[in-house]
Amino acid sequence: MSSEPETLSPAQKAAMRRSFQGGRGALSRRTLLRASTGGALAAGGALALTGCGIPPAGRTETVSSQDHSDKEKRVTFSNWTEYMDVDDSGKRRPTLDAFRERTGITVKYTEDINDNVEFFGKVKPQLAAGQDTGRDLINVTDWLAARLIRFGWVQKLDASNLPHAYANLSQQFRSPDWDPGRAYSYPWTGIPAVIAYNRKALDGLEVRSLSDLLDEPKLKGRVSLLSEMRDTMGLALLDMGKDPGKVTDDDFDAAIARVQKAVDKGQVRRFTGNDYTSDLSKGDIAACVAWAGDVVQLQADNPDIDFVVPDSGYMIASDNLLIPNKARHKRNAERLIDYYYEPGPAARLAAYINYVCPVDGVRAELAKIDPGAAENPLIIPDKEMASKSHSFRSLSSKEETAYEEKFAKLSGA
């Protein structure tokens, strides 16, 4: 059992605000990435973890509940905004409608997740008290999923209700260190961080690695890095031949020093959330660390935008489906998870949200909807690209505080 403190340091709070206001939480997923409402986190979302009343041991036992799935043909699903397919009218959700028609299970679908920390603040009082949150299925980013599992606040999944998920989950997502074998979670989508560039702005210059961004004199002042610590520092570690999945304090310090050198000489224009997209499209930024979802959207409007996956690899995070303790409709929720691991529904979802699809065997179905998306390795990675993906290992609270403080000093947050 963990006894680590669960309060957030000033650097961690700053990192959360950075992510919410200018990172993956900044814009609509359809127009670029996640929608947000600006002031909610500043009003107290980031502080939600500081007094959350978690038991001293840091973990309780998983608490199931009587499953009412047979009698109550419904499921309540909390998700991010713009993270579900809609039809041209914007009023219908085709895959959810098809699920209801097939199973008779009505989905109460709510887009009430704008930010991981803010959402955790909504549900933690009930979870800590062993009470029903009113939700059968939630979708949160890997670091929060890890925390919920560690606390014992989500239910172990019944594999017998997840035949498609078990069979079709892509290898690269099968066994994160925070949920080995996916006993408690299944990924909704993957979020890669790669190197993007504006071909016109490079004017014939080739970029193949993070070293090119940090060292090439012709790019001085025309490079941006992400304000997400795990993405930027993960790529820096990979560039130095280190594995972010096994990072040590010494490794991290060396990577910080490597990037600091580039910052000190004016190579890096700034650290950004996805607000780099406008500068990249205009050519004010020639090359940057970027999220794949941005790249896919930008390429649709600007043929000069392209990306490269360094030979050393790239970083990937995931958003993940979990069933909270005391959920009334666990089996219905598991059926919904499994449904989105069928190639047909998975393809329709991937065609809409343009992120890495974690479902094997989806390419042929996606090609019927959007041939370009089916061939885009940022949506359907081939084996070579999938083999280059890396995730930052789970950090203890002490480690996360130390790493975020060092990164905040580097990035000027």
Q: Give the pLDDT mean for 345-372.
A: 95
Q: Give the pLDDT mean for 13-23.
A: 46
Which residues are paired to 224 by β-bridges? 270, 288
Place of tokens 């959402």: 119
Q: Give the pLDDT mean for 115-127.
A: 92
Asked if residue 170 lies in contact with residue 270, where contact means CB atoms within 8 angstroms, the answer is: no
pLDDT of residue 24: 41
**Predicted confidence band at 28 (pLDDT cuts at 50, 70, 90)?**
very low
CA 125 to chain centre: 24
pLDDT 10s digits, 36-88: 222 233 333 333 343 333 333 345 455 666 899 999 999 999 999 889 999 98
Counted residue by residue, the chain has a size of 413
**Predicted confidence band at 344 (pLDDT cuts at 50, 70, 90)?**
very high
**Predicted confidence band at 8 (pLDDT cuts at 50, 70, 90)?**
low
pLDDT 10s digits, 176-233: 999 999 999 999 999 999 999 999 999 999 999 999 999 999 999 999 999 989 999 9
pLDDT of residue 413: 66
pLDDT of residue 359: 97
Positive or negative, the CA dihedral 23, 408, 403, 8 is negative
**Predicted confidence band at 6 (pLDDT cuts at 50, 70, 90)?**
low
pLDDT of residue 159: 96
Domains recognised in the chain with CATH numbers? 74-184+323-341 (3.40.190.10), 191-316+397-411 (3.40.190.10)
Q: Give the pLDDT mean for 107-124.
A: 92
CA distance 261 to 256: 9
pLDDT of residue 275: 85
User: Token pair of 368, please?
Assistant: 């019927």
pLDDT of residue 352: 92
Q: CB 364: neighbour CB atoms within 10 A?
A: 10
Burial class (CB in 10 A: 0-12, 13-18, 19+), 83: buried
Asked if residue 132 lies in contact with residue 328, where contact means CB atoms within 8 angstroms, the answer is: yes
User: Token pair of 17, please?
Assistant: 């605000």
- The answer to whether residue 135 scores a pLDDT higher than 60 is yes
Place of tokens 């594999």: 159
CA distance 163 to 161: 6
Q: Give the pLDDT mean for 2-22.
A: 49
Asked if residue 161 lies in contact with residue 137, where contact means CB atoms within 8 angstroms, the answer is: no
Give the containing element (helix H, strand E) for 61: none
- Percentage of the residues of the chain whose pLDDT score is greater than 90: 75
pLDDT of residue 273: 83
pLDDT of residue 42: 30
Asked if residue 156 lies in contact with residue 184, where contact means CB atoms within 8 angstroms, the answer is: yes
Q: CB 362: neighbour CB atoms within 10 A?
A: 26
pLDDT of residue 126: 96
Closest CA to 228 of 317, 118, 139: 317
Asked if residue 325 lies in contact with residue 127, where contact means CB atoms within 8 angstroms, the answer is: yes
What is the largest distance, in Å, between two alpha-carbon atoms of the chain? 67
pLDDT of residue 89: 86
pLDDT of residue 345: 98
Give the containing element (helix H, strand E) for 80: strand 74-80
3-state secondary structure of 301: coil
Closest CA to 289 of 335, 239, 336: 239
CA distance 358 to 123: 27
Asked if residue 143 lies in contact with residue 117, where contact means CB atoms within 8 angstroms, the answer is: no
CA distance 314 to 293: 14
Mean pLDDT of the chain: 87
**Predicted confidence band at 323 (pLDDT cuts at 50, 70, 90)?**
very high
- Percentage of the residues of the chain whose pLDDT score is greater than 70: 84
pLDDT of residue 44: 34
Closest CA to 225 of 315, 288, 134: 288
pLDDT 10s digits, 228-253: 899 999 999 999 999 999 999 999 99
pLDDT of residue 412: 87
Q: Give the pLDDT mean for 318-334.
A: 97
Q: Give the list of residues 6+ apart from residue 397 with CB closer than 8 angstroms, or none.
A: 4, 5, 6, 7
pLDDT of residue 64: 61
Residue type for position 9: S
Strand (E) positions, 250-360? 268-272, 287-291, 305-308, 314-322
pLDDT of residue 282: 96
The DSSP line for 132-201 is: --S-SEEEEEHHHHHHHHHHT-BPPP-GGG-HHHHHHB-GGGS--TTSGGGSS-EEEEEEEEEEEEEHHH
pLDDT of residue 98: 98
User: Token pair of 356, please?
Assistant: 């890495």
pLDDT 10s digits, 139-168: 999 989 999 999 999 999 999 999 999 999
pLDDT 10s digits, 84-102: 999 988 889 999 999 999 9
DSSP state at residue 8: P
Q: Give the pLDDT mean for 3-15.
A: 52
